[in-house]
Each structure stands twice: as C-alpha cells, then as structure tokens.
Structure 1
Amino acid sequence: MDFKILLVKPRNPDNIGASARAMANFGLEDLRVVAPDIAVWRESVETLRAAVGAGHILHAARVFDFITEAAADCRVLLGTSSLHRLTPERDVISLPDLNKYLAGREGPAGILFGSEKTGLTKDDLSHCHAILNIPTGEKQPSMNLGQSVALVCYELAAAGKAPRRQRPVAPSPCVQETERMVSQICVRLREIYGPAWNGAGRAREIRRSLLDARLTKGAMNTLKALLRPSDAASKRTYP
C-alpha cells in the first residue's frame, strides 16, 4: 500500500526535518505539509539539520492550505491523537493493530499528525476514517511530533518485510557430547576438591546447568579447553 505522511500546522522546523528523516529511515517518501506555521520551513537551518539523509523528501514535499486538499487522493485517512481530553467520535485503532486495520483496504493511505501545540482538532479528525493512538503512559500521553512519525513509519514498514540477515545459528552439541562434557567436569572437580565431590546428584546438577545454558558446540569446545588440568592440579594428591 502507498502511504502519505501529512503534517498539519507544524510549528517547529526541527520536527518537520525529524519527520522527514524518520520517513527516510523506513522507506516512506511522500510528505505533505498543511498550513505550516513558518512559511520558509523548507530552507530553515533547523529543518535541514534534523533531516540528515532526507533532503530528497524535503525537496519533494508538497504544501497545502487544507487537509481536504492534502488528502484528496487518500482512500484511507487516519488521524493521530493521544485522546487526552478528547472524546473520540471515530473508531480508535491502537498502533500495534494498525496493519491489521489496513489489511484488505485499498490505498493510498494517509496518516495525519497535528500541531505540536494542539494536536489534531475535532474538525481535523472529522475528515478521518479512524483515530490512530500510540499507547503511552498516563502521566505523559503526548509525544514529540518527530518521534510519533518515526513510530508510525516503523509500524508501516514492518508489515510484510523480511527481517535483516541474522547471524547464522550455531550448531548445538549432541547428547553424547554433552554427556562427555558432564564427565569431564566431574573428573576436574574431583581433582580439585577430592573424592568427596562425587555422586550422581552432582552429575545431574552439571547436566542441568549445561542444558539450561544452551551452549553451542563451539562454546562447549571452549569450555573443554578450560577444563584441561593445570600442572599444579595434576601434581596434587589426596589420601
């Protein structure tokens, strides 16, 4: 689905730049600014400084006077709100459920973000199909504009994307190798503490510890090397 990020009456050039950077981080490119508080935000040093790596998004961003113009081609329009002192008049979607809500709907989809000072008004939200809420703590329900855009962009980008290449899974030791290690540890501990340190119960404790640790075969070999008796231990004798 094609996504549009719409900033309504943004006041701080830093936040416009941070929003553009967040979009670039997660592969979104269509930024639309509605009635910005500062007319020259695009050329502002603050905007450019906050939009590292996202100059192309700022350059292509379009400016509109009204939400209806900015969202004219959107088949789905969601307005963000903390719901602080607001009785919702639309269905409320929690951010973790965003992609479930969008599944099966036809795009483009626009995500509306309000002014840093007031957020989206009831009139702004009246244009939206639903309200998008980012779960936050009750003591601080509102979020910085750039942070909000980043969280939403991450959620949108996460849908249907394969994870980045991960570290290869290391092979695990087989049962035989584990049992061999248990025996070696028991022998080593008897060398250190004497014949008193012995018994099936001790072996079970060691086996459980090794299994709980989920050691890889390589880690098991390293442990084996550490268990090689030192000269001092090999010369020690017990009655």
Structure 2
Amino acid sequence: MRTRFILIQTSHAGNVGAAARAMKTMGFSDLVLVAPRWANVLRREETIQRASGALDVLANARIVETLDEALDGVTHLCATAMIPRDFGPPTRTPREHLEPLAKQGDQHVAFLFGSERFGMRNEDVYRCNVALSIPTDPKFGSLNLGAAIQVIAYEWRLALGGYEVREAIQPVQAADAQAVAGMLDHWERSLVEIGFLDPGAPKKLMPRLQQLFNRAQPTPEEIHILRGIAKAMSDATRPPRGDKADKGGKAPGND
C-alpha cells in the first residue's frame, strides 16, 4: 500500500522535521511539501534538528507549487480536519476509516495536512474522499502539526498490520532445580544461625520458601545474590576475628 504525506503551505520549518521523524518511526518515507514558507526548508537547521535522524525522509522529500502536482498518482485522499464541514466528504475517526481502507487492496493513499496558520481550505477538503478527525478533548482539540502527523501515521501503520513490540532485553534462563535446592539449603543454615528458624520445630517455613522461589523462577545470577545474602547473615552472627593483642592491647598472661 503506497502512502504519501502532503503538507500544504507549512509555515514552521521545525514542523517539517517533526513530520519526517513521525513518518520514519512508522515506516513511511514519501513526503511532499506544497508551497512551504521557506524555499530551503528541507535544509534549514531547525528542520534537520527536529527530524532527529530522519534525514533520509528529508533527502527524498519533494517541494511542489500546487496541490495537483502533489496528488500525482494518488487514488485515495484523506484530509485531516478538526472542524467538520457542512458540505464535503464524510468525517470519520482515523481508526474507523483506515481499518477497512487497509483491506481494499492496492491503493495509493495520501494524507493531506493544512497550514498551521489557517488549517485546511474548504476547496482542498472537498477534493478528498474523507475528512479524518482525531478524537480529542472537546474543550481543547488543538494539536501541533507534528503530533497530528504522528497520530495519523500510527493509526495507518496499525491498520496495515503494525510492528511487533520487541523485548527491551533478551529473556534469561531460570536457574535449574539443583541450584535452587542448594540455595535453600544455604538459607536454612543461615536462618538457623541468626535464630530465625528453630531446627527443632521448623514447621513449614522451608517448604513455603521453596514454593516462593518456584514461582519466582530466579536466574543463576539471582541465586548467587541470594547465596551472598545468606552468607552475610551467617557472618553477622560470628564474633569479629582477632583478640585484644591484635588491637594493640596486652594478651592475657603476659604481665
């Protein structure tokens, strides 16, 4: 499904960079600018900074003078308008319209965004198949151009199938039963040494700890940490090494 994002008379260079970034994060790259305020907008410092690495989208972007040029090859045109028109295409939420659109087969879809200063002109909206309206708080529906593009790009990518969410870290293997049993033996000895566990009447403390660690499925590294805690508990119950002679005092019997 071919996809194009068209920005009409963009007045802020930073929004062009933000548009490129929003598109790239969702896997889109066809950006067309219609009569932007700055002829060199694709090379301006603010544009490049706001693109945040989406320089390939900027490099491939085109600047044209008319909307007709921008619509070359487009078969389905979506306006983005927060204010419904009394006359013109139907107004839909992005998800409502884009999910069935994605199932229609080969289309060349374009999303049209108006100027930050005066939005979409009626004559441009009338050319579209649909007017997409992002459902926002009725008391405050003002969206930055870059944010609106990000929402539409996300909804369209979601309708097309989306991307898988990747784990931040690779899953690790749980410690084997022998390692868990060895750790529990170590804990049992330490708990006796610190007086927490009465070996004559242990009740169900150790079986409960066994069930706890079975549910937790600790990793080998976590087993090492737990053994270190057990060792520290045991060490805390032992008297300090050395005697008075080691600390500079007199040893008994040396008077």
1:225 maps to what in 2? Answer: 228
- Is this contact kept in 2: 1:173–1:216, CA < 8 A? yes
Closer, same or farther in 2 for the Cα pair 1:116/1:193, shift >3 Å?
Answer: farther
Aligned identity (percent) is 26
> Scaled by the length of structure 1, what TM-score is found?
0.72
Closer, same or farther in 2 for the Cα pair 1:109/1:222, shift >3 Å?
Answer: same
Moved more, 34-43 or 102-111: 34-43
Match of 1:199 among 194, 203, 207: 203
3-state secondary structure, aligned to 1:21? helix
Give structure 2 stretches of 5+ with no counterpart. 240-255
For 1:14 and 1:31, locate their aligned partners in 2 and report how far apart those are by CA, in whole Å. Answer: 15
1:16 maps to what in 2? Answer: 16
Deviation at 1:132, TM superposition (A): 3.4
> Scaled by the length of structure 2, what TM-score is found?
0.69
- Residues 40-70 of structure 1: per-residue CA shift (max 9 Å, x gap): 534544334434544554454131322x442
3-state secondary structure, aligned to 2:194? helix
- Is this contact kept in 1: 2:80–2:112, CA < 8 A? yes
Letter in 2 for 1:111: F
Letter in 2 for 1:152: I
Q: Which has the larger radius of gyration?
A: 2
- Residues 82-126 of structure 1: per-residue CA shift (max 9 Å, x gap): x35667952513359845641343222111222223333444333
Matched, 1:129 2:132: no
Letter in 2 for 1:233: T
Moved more, 218-227 or 38-47: 38-47
Closer, same or farther in 2 for the Cα pair 1:182/1:52, shift >3 Å?
Answer: closer
- Is this contact kept in 2: 1:30–1:57, CA < 8 A? yes
Note the aligned Cα RMSD (angstroms).
3.8
For 1:150 and 1:191, locate their aligned partners in 2 and report how far apart those are by CA, in whole Å. Answer: 61
Q: Note the 1:6-155 alignment, pairs <5 A.
A: 6-42=6-42, 44-59=44-59, 60-66=61-67, 68-81=68-81, 83=82, 89-95=89-95, 98=98, 101-155=101-155
Matched, 1:216 2:219: yes
Letter in 2 for 1:231: D
> How many residue pairs are counted as aligned between the two chains?
233
Match of 1:171 among 170, 173, 176: 173
Closer, same or farther in 2 for the Cα pair 1:142/1:213, shift >3 Å?
Answer: farther
3-state secondary structure, aligned to 1:152? helix
Deviation at 1:215, TM superposition (A): 2.7
